[in-house]
Structure 1
Amino acid sequence: MAESEFQQGNNDDGKTRENFKKSTEELLEKMENLTVWATQIVYDCTAIRTNPALTTTMQHLEDAFLRCKEHMEKKRQEVLMESRGEGQKKE
């Protein structure tokens, strides 16, 4: 009986170690992601301070992206409407 309790204790310790290892790996991954994010922010701030025109360029790119995204959404809606219309004609 003492032997089974000893084995169960070892099993619990193994699970605890595995949980600890998993939690540590998750925290390390989160820290790595935050480090990359922070590095990117610092890089962006440095680039903007050394080249003020970059802010204007980035705003222009963002505006172009949003216009493109809006246009693509309109096209997607048109294609969906056309495909629904063709589906109804065949039925």
Structure 2
Amino acid sequence: MLSDTTETAPTQRDRHIQMITQTGRMRGQQTSGYSKRAGVESQMARWKGVLGKALHFHSDQAQITEVATGVKVLNRMLDLGRPNSVRVA
């Protein structure tokens, strides 16, 4: 639904809705880069699943080591290609 100020001062959301209305949902997603953004979000979710959402160690040196190890794991994942995700439930 468009905002009340669409005619005078359209928001970014208003412009996106108008573009989707004019070009269609799929073309609007392609134009806005939605599918690329969704792919990046999916990849980040996979990485967080492997590495966790937060650092586990408290000391600075241990955190540096933890981050360096995580970076090596992620680089190795990229070298091997994107993993095939399979729904299990």
**TM-score, length-normalised on structure 1?**
0.31
Higher RCO structure (Cα 8 Å, ≥6 apart): 2
Of Structure 1 and Structure 2, the greater helix share is in 1
Bigger radius of gyration among the two = 1
